[in-house]
Structure 1
Amino acid sequence: MKNRLREEILQKRKELSEEERQKKSAKITATLRGSARYEKAETLFTFISMDKEVNTYPLIEQAWQDGKKVAVPIAKAKGEMYFVPIDSFSELKKSRFGVMEPEKEKEESIIPKETDVFLVPGSVFDQKGNRYGYGGGFYDRFFEKYPSIFKIAVAFSFQVMDFDLQVEAFDKPVDCIITEDGLIGGF
């Protein structure tokens, strides 16, 4: 069930036209940027969008213009992940996992504060904030270590189901979801 639903939604996302993806992504970014949480945040912790995910590149550029730090994840073997600051997209290279990452060591990593904005990717969500990622468990392990992080998912509205997802005990829900149609959950 879980894998079939994930595949179905990812296929739907893949079929999104680039114009539609950009339009919906811009609405999501505007909602986030208009929030008090974004205003107060010192650092934007975000994934680097790939495939047909919500486009995070314009948001990252805006965060730099707004004087915020930007931190992005580096995934290692055995599900380990840490976040490092970047000052430019030129620092990014394609990793062995096929995602764009900076080439930085764990010693350069930074830990999110409760007031920072922390964006979470995913394939499928429900109204309660439960999520299916991409199957690696990287974010769930990270949240296990840092449970006080306020987790914000950014997704297209068709990725949010009207029924409860079947999740495991180790799956960590997000605190809110921003779609092009608005906000689900508290901010």
Structure 2
Amino acid sequence: MLSKNELRALVRQRKAAHPPAELREMSEQACRGVCRSPFWMAARSVLLYHPLPDEVDVTPLLDKAFRAGKRVYLPVVTGACAIEVRRWAPGTQMRTGAFGIQEPTGADISTEECGRIDLAIVPGMGFDHEGHRLGRGKGYYDRLLARTPHAHLMGVCLPFQLLREIPHEAHDIDMDSLVYSEMP
């Protein structure tokens, strides 16, 4: 089995083989898959994210969720190992965060409100069919998802991010479902 660092390098290499237009098309396809999911349809609240360049671009889902009457939340990196959850709506004041992504300003939501999030859409460097997620190695999402104990955890990825097997450690949080696009 490849190590997590070897798997990250493999995913980066696979991504480099796809032109930007193809990556956009695959992200759009993955977003359509999320919207067809019964978990998306049933959710009253959803944790989304603003993507890094190598993640599925789920930004179209922000407005879709809001227009559908869902409460929308975004993660915010606040320190070397700290991450918060903040509410988002159109017009929310945003700032460029630690990793160059847009994050809402304001206060962290309460533990109680975090516990009421129905669905978390989760990025990753890779996923396997057992629900294991390959992150970036800092544990941000494992700490974040531990705050959403009742949420359905849905990993989203592009087809080249599907891996046969990912090394799994006790602190790693598994996904409940996985949505991915097909190769164009």
Alpha carbons of 1:62 and 1:143: their partners in 2 closer, same or farther (altered >3 Å)?
closer
Q: Distance in 1 between matches of 2:129 and 2:29?
A: 19
> SS at the partner of 1:73?
strand
Matched, 1:178 2:179: yes
Q: Per-residue deviation at 1:50? A: 2.1
One-letter amino acid of the counterpart of residue 175, structure 2:
V
For CA contacts below 8 A with separation 6 or more, give which structure has more relative contact order: 2
Contact 2:77 2:98 in 1 (8 A): no
Contact 1:44 1:70 in 2 (8 A): yes
Q: Per-residue deviation at 1:156? A: 0.6
Identity percentage of aligned residues: 25
- Equivalence map 1:48-67=2 (5 Å): 48-67=50-69
What does residue 161 of structure 1 align with?
A: 163
Contact 2:49 2:59 in 1 (8 A): no
Q: Distance in 2 between matches of 1:52 and 1:125?
A: 14
Which contiguous aligned blocks of 4+ residues in structure 1 show a shift greater than 4 angstroms? none
- Equivalence map 1:87-126=2 (5 Å): 87-88=89-90, 91-106=93-108, 110-113=113-116, 116-126=118-128
What does residue 24 of structure 1 align with?
A: 26
Q: Report the more deviating stretch, 51-60 or 144-153.
A: 144-153
Alpha carbons of 1:107 and 1:2: their partners in 2 closer, same or farther (altered >3 Å)?
closer
What does residue 142 of structure 1 align with?
A: 144
Matched, 1:75 2:77: yes
The count of residues paired between Structure 1 and Structure 2 equals: 179
Contact 1:70 1:85 in 2 (8 A): yes
**Runs (5+) with no aligned partner, structure 2:** none
Contact 1:45 1:112 in 2 (8 A): no
What does residue 184 of structure 1 align with?
A: none
One-letter amino acid of the counterpart of residue 179, structure 2:
I
Q: Per-residue deviation at 1:76? A: 2.2
TM-score normalised by length of structure 1: 0.85
* CA deviation vs aligned residue, 1:56-114 (integer Å, no higher than 9, x gap): 11111211222222110012225222211111266222112323211222257841436
